[in-house]
Each structure stands twice: as structure tokens, then as C-alpha cells.
């Protein structure tokens, strides 16, 4: 009665589009947060099929899950706890993002002699999140250089993350990144892979692509900038629920908790078995769009934990039909972006928060 249809072929297609767009020698597809809700292994395999040669995760455990699933491509993980033992990740050949001297020490402590850790130094060029502050670069880079000289690490990359505020703000961060490269060069390190942009920057600031782009959202067919609407991305997720109850009701009936919706005439209500426990945002109450057999309606009343109601008027819908919440707008289905707008959030949150109660059907 609930389904999230995941289309690996769409991910592969999108990755091909991204490879064409970025024209970088390396392409990293981000599969953190269970592949943005699509299933990490499904997404990883489809991304490699589509031409990616790197995968990225936040947590090291996510990277290890890829290895356990038989993925042997390069994998970069950039988030780990301060007391985490990094040796399993290093033994599995995972590259690690390093934002500070403390993190560098943590990596060095986990190294097995004879098997240097592959690291990507991360610099904060203006996002104000992870990455080393410019005042720490020299000390961090020097420590990384001496660790490389003694054979415990290999500095593979230098990376940063953009704020996505505007192309002007990106360009400013790009200049700060150039400064970081110069400082790195001054201590005698020339990284093989310089990487800066994610989905937004890859489309709107292509000059910052360098040797690799790290793309998540766009690979799943979520058009996060207007330009992505023009390149033919295909949404890789379609979420739907089967109408479990359809009933005729009278005018003036209050619908759902708090009676935030009231029927304006005799009408038909259809019940969809998806709620906020499934990741359907309660903030989209009374606004979230659905299509039933190609006809468009919206949520009527509050979205509750397990279900919501749709006033379908006099349309002849019946139990057993499917309501599509988000899928492919090219097929007349609402998009994850529309749900994001309805809920006052971004499509990233819509796809990644999909609950575990919805079976993923890979086809």
C-alpha cells in the first residue's frame, strides 16, 4: 500500500548528464544518507554505471557499507566522530577528509605501518562549517607534509564546500581556495585532486570545477538550480500510496485533526496511507500535491502520522488506485520540489527523510 519506486537507470542517466556538464577528469557522486533516501548501494552501483569514478559519503560507516556491498571504487568520507577508531575505514581503503590538526592526528593514530592513509585536506573558504580556517592552514599543511614524508599519509586532495549563496559568493570562495592551493604548494604539496563544487556550483559556477565535482542532489534528478531543468535530469524516486478508503461525505464536514479543512459541498474523500512518520512533511498539510490516475489534487486537512485525506470532489476514484506524491513531472506527476515548496523546505529534505516503513522497489 506504500511504495517508493527507485529507478537506477535514471541515476545512471543523470550521472552521464553531469559528466558531460562538468567535463572534469573525475566525477564523485555523493551517496550519503542512504543515497539521499534512494538506497546507498542502489545509488552507488547506478552512479558507477553512469560514469562516476568516485563515491562520497558523510560518515565512515556509510563508506564501509559500500565496501561491504562489494563496491571497490574510490570512496571519500568526510565526517567522523572525535573518538572514532578510523582503522576500519583505512583498512577498507577509504579516503578521509581532514579539517584540523586534531583530525590529522586521529588519522595518523589509526594508520597501519606500510599502508599510508589517503587524505583530502578540507579548507573553510567561507561556508563557516567544516574545513580548516585560513589561519590554521600553514600548520595543518606542514603537519600533513611531514606525515607524508614519513610515509603515514598521502595527501590526495584539497577540497572545500561552497555556501550556494550566489555565483558571486562562490567566486569569492574560489579565490580563497586559490590562496589555500598556494599555501599548500609553499609547503611542498601538490594534490592530485582539487575539488570544490557540488550540485549548485557545478551548474552555476563551472569555472570552479577543477579536477572533480562532488554531486549529490542532481544525480538523483532533483533540479536544484534552474539550469538543471534544461539538461534533462530524470527524477529517480516516485513515492505513492494506495487509496485505502474512499467515501462520500456531506457538506461542512471537518477533515482531520484540528479541522483545518472543511468540505464545501457533498464530496468524495480518499485516504492515502502515508504520513509524517513516513517522511511526508506535516508542514505540507492542505497544500501538498498528489495525482490520482493523472488527475491532480492536494492534501485536504492535516497530514497525520500514518495517513492523510484528499478531497477529490466528484471524481470517480476508487480504493486500490494509487496516489502519486512525487515522481516525474515529465509524466504529469508532482515533483519533490513542489512538496518542498508546500512544506517550506528544500527537495533535499523531502527525499532524504523518506521513512523506513515505505518499501523501496528498485526497477
Ligand X SMILES: *Cc1c(COP(=O)(O)O)cnc(C)c1O
**Nearest by Cα to 110 from 119, 100, 121, 122:** 119
* Shortest Cβ 198–ligand X spacing (Å): 3
Binding of ligand X at residue 94 (CB under 6 A)? no
* Shortest Cβ 215–ligand X spacing (Å): 5
Binding of ligand X at residue 214 (CB under 6 A)? yes
Of 198 and 307, which has the nearer Cβ to ligand X? 198
Of 198 and 300, which has the nearer Cβ to ligand X? 198
Angstrom distances, CA of residue 149 to CA of 89, 140, 188, 281: 22, 14, 10, 51
Q: 51 near 73, Cβ under 8 Å?
A: no
Binding of ligand X at residue 160 (CB under 6 A)? no
* Shortest Cβ 162–ligand X spacing (Å): 9
Of 161 and 302, which has the nearer Cβ to ligand X? 161
* Shortest Cβ 145–ligand X spacing (Å): 23
Give catalytic status of residue 257 as yes or no.
yes
Of 123 and 255, which has the nearer Cβ to ligand X? 123
210 Cβ neighbours under 8 A, 6+ residues apart: 24, 194, 195, 196
Binding of ligand X at residue 354 (CB under 6 A)? no
What the block records as the C-alpha cell of 103 is 583530525
Angstrom distances, CA of residue 22 to CA of 49, 82, 174, 322: 17, 34, 16, 38
Binder to ligand X among 42, 198, 300, 307 (CB under 6 A)?
198
Binding of ligand X at residue 223 (CB under 6 A)? no
Catalytic residue among 177, 257, 261, 276: 257
Binding of ligand X at residue 217 (CB under 6 A)? yes
Question: Strand locations in 21-179, DSSP E?
Answer: 26-30, 54-59, 74-79, 95-98, 117-122, 153-159
3-state secondary structure of 83: coil
Number of chain positions touching ligand X (CB under 6 A):
11
Which position's Cβ is nearest ligand X? 216
212 Cβ neighbours under 8 A, 6+ residues apart: 24, 25, 26, 27, 28, 54, 157, 193, 194, 195
3-state secondary structure of 53: coil
Q: 297 near 290, Cβ under 8 Å?
A: yes
Nearest-angstrom CA–CA distance, 269 and 78: 47
Q: 333 near 326, Cβ under 8 Å?
A: yes
Binder to ligand X among 21, 54, 78, 170 (CB under 6 A)?
78
Binding of ligand X at residue 215 (CB under 6 A)? yes
Binding of ligand X at residue 161 (CB under 6 A)? yes
Binding of ligand X at residue 180 (CB under 6 A)? no
* Shortest Cβ 78–ligand X spacing (Å): 6
Binding of ligand X at residue 285 (CB under 6 A)? no
What the block records as the C-alpha cell of 196 is 570544490
Binding of ligand X at residue 55 (CB under 6 A)? no
How many of the other CB atoms lie within 10 Å of CB of 251?
10
Of 224 and 284, which has the nearer Cβ to ligand X? 224
Binding of ligand X at residue 30 (CB under 6 A)? yes
* Shortest Cβ 170–ligand X spacing (Å): 13
Of 240 and 335, which has the nearer Cβ to ligand X? 335
Binding of ligand X at residue 199 (CB under 6 A)? yes
Of 218 and 290, which has the nearer Cβ to ligand X? 218
3-state secondary structure of 164: coil
How many of the other CB atoms lie within 10 Å of CB of 337?
18
Give catalytic status of residue 247 as yes or no.
no
246 Cβ neighbours under 8 A, 6+ residues apart: 268, 269, 270, 271, 312, 317, 318, 319
Of 30 and 269, which has the nearer Cβ to ligand X? 30
Catalytic residue among 23, 32, 36, 348: 32
- DSSP class of residue 245 equals E
Binding of ligand X at residue 40 (CB under 6 A)? no
Binding of ligand X at residue 216 (CB under 6 A)? yes
Active site residues: 32, 257
Residue numbers at the binding site for ligand X (CB under 6 A): 30, 32, 78, 161, 198-200, 214-217
Amino acid at each position: 500500500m506504500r511504495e517508493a519506486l527507485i529507478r537506477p537507470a535514471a541515476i545512471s542517466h543523470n550521472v552521464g548528464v553531469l559528466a558531460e556538464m562538468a567535463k572534469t577528469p573525475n566525477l564523485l557522486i555523493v551517496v550519503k544518507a542512504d543515497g539521499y533516501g534512494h538506497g546507498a548501494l542502489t545509488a552507488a552501483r547506478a552512479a558507477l554505471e553512469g560514469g562516476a569514478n568516485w563515491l562520497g559519503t558523510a560518515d565512515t560507516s556509510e563508506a564501509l557499507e559500500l565496501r561491504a556491498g562489494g563496491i571497490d571504487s574510490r570512496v571519500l568520507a568526510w565526517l567522523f566522530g572525535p573518538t572514532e577508531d578510523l582503522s576500519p575505514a583505512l583498512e577498507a581503503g577509504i579516503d578521509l577528509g581532514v579539517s584540523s590538526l586534531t583530525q590529522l592526528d586521529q588519522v595518523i593514530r589509526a594508520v597501519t605501518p606500510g599502508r599510508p592513509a589517503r587524505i583530502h585536506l578540507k579548507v573553510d573558504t567561507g561556508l563557516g562549517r567544516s574545513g580548516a580556517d585560513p589561519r590554521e592552514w600553514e600548520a595543518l599543511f606542514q603537519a600533513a607534509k611531514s606525515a607524508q614524508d614519513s610515509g603515514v599519509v598521502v595527501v590526495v586532495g584539497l577540497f572545500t564546500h561552497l555556501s550556494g549563496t550566489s555565483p558571486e559568493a562562490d567566486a569569492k570562495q574560489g579565490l580563497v581556495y586559490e590562496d589555500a592551493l598556494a599555501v599548500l604548494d609553499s609547503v611542498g604539496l601538490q594534490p592530485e585532486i582539487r575539488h570544490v563544487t557540488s550540485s549548485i556550483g557545478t551548474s552555476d559556477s563551472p569555472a570552479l570545477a577543477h579536477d572533480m565535482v562532488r554531486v549529490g542532489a542532481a544525480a538523483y534528478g532533483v533540479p536544484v538550480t534552474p539550469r538543471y531543468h534544461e539538461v534533462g535530469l530524470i527524477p529517480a524516486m516516485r513515492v505513492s500510496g494506495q487509496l485505502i478508503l474512499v467515501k462520500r461525505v456531506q457538506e461542512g464536514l471537518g477533515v482531520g485533526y484540528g479541522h483545518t479543512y472543511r468540505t464545501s459541498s457533498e464530496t468524495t474523500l480518499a485516504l492515502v496511507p502515508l504520513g509524517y512518520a513516513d517522511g511526508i512533511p506535516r508542514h505540507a498539510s492542505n497544500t501538498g500535491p498528489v495525482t490520482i490516475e493523472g488527475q491532480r489534487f492536494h492534501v485536504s486537512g492535516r497530514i497525520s502520522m500514518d495517513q492523510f485525506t484528499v478531497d477529490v470532489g466528484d471524481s470517480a476514484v476508487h480504493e486500490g488506485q494509487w496516489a502519486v506524491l512525487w515522481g516525474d513531472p515529465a509524466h504529469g506527476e508532482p515533483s519533490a520540489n513542489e512538496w518542498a515548496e508546500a512544506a517550506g523546505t528544500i527537495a533535499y529534505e523531502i527525499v532524504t527523510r523518506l521513512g523506513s516503513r515505505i518499501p523501496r522497489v528498485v526497477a
